[in-house]
Amino acid sequence: MTRWLFIVAVTGVLSALFLFGLLRGKPDREIASNLIGKHAPDFTLPLHKGFAENLGENFSLAEHKGQPMVINFWASWCPPCFQEAPALATAWRKYGTEVLFVGVQTQDPGRRDEGQKFVDQFALGFPNVFDSQSSLSIDYGLFGVPETFFVNSEGLVIYRHTGPLSKITLDNQIGKLVR
């Protein structure tokens, strides 16, 4: 009896470790962020071409305080970023008047032109900036791209999503911002 209990316990522990390993490798998952409940770190970064004409050379988050925001980090080499971009563009068309969408090209050194092509390809009409040194990645505690932060009107981060966004996640999280 004791021997059976021992075998069951060992098998259970090994299975749990196996499952943990499988889930760790899944890109689309929730990872607790140290920023939840804290103010979204401020930044001023150069805008991609199309936006500079209307908004100026740089975009500063501080100038948009009081507005709920969706801050999306992406890179031009990242397939999941391409995967989520249409959903993001659709959400912006739907909620763009209530929520400020900001795209940040990061972890993508020296590829500003490729970033511009990405913006043009998906007709992203919301401001997209270029984080040439990836320093904003560190300020936001990014593990990779894509990652998205949902910030309420008080400037507090309420949710962080790692991996490609789905329409459902966008609708749910934006729903909480505009409620």
Give contact residues for other proteins (rule: CB under 8 A). 32-35, 107, 109, 133-135, 137-144
Question: Least distance from C-beta 143 to other proteins, angstroms?
Answer: 5
* Pick 125 or 144: Cβ nearer other proteins: 144
Question: Least distance from C-beta 178 to other proteins, angstroms?
Answer: 28
Smallest CA-to-CA distance from 144 within 130, 159, 160 is with 160
Q: How many helices (H) and strands (E) does the chain have?
A: 6, 7
- Whether omega before 146 lies within 30 degrees of 0, making that bond cis, reads yes
Q: Which residue carries 């740089």 as its tokens? A: 58
* Pick 48 or 160: Cβ nearer other proteins: 160
* Pick 33 or 169: Cβ nearer other proteins: 33
Return d(Cα 98, Cα 68) in angstroms, integer.
8
Question: Least distance from C-beta 154 to other proteins, angstroms?
Answer: 20
Smallest CA-to-CA distance from 159 within 98, 72, 84, 63 is with 72
Question: Least distance from C-beta 38 to other proteins, angstroms?
Answer: 9
* Pick 107 or 148: Cβ nearer other proteins: 107
Smallest CA-to-CA distance from 87 within 167, 169, 178 is with 167
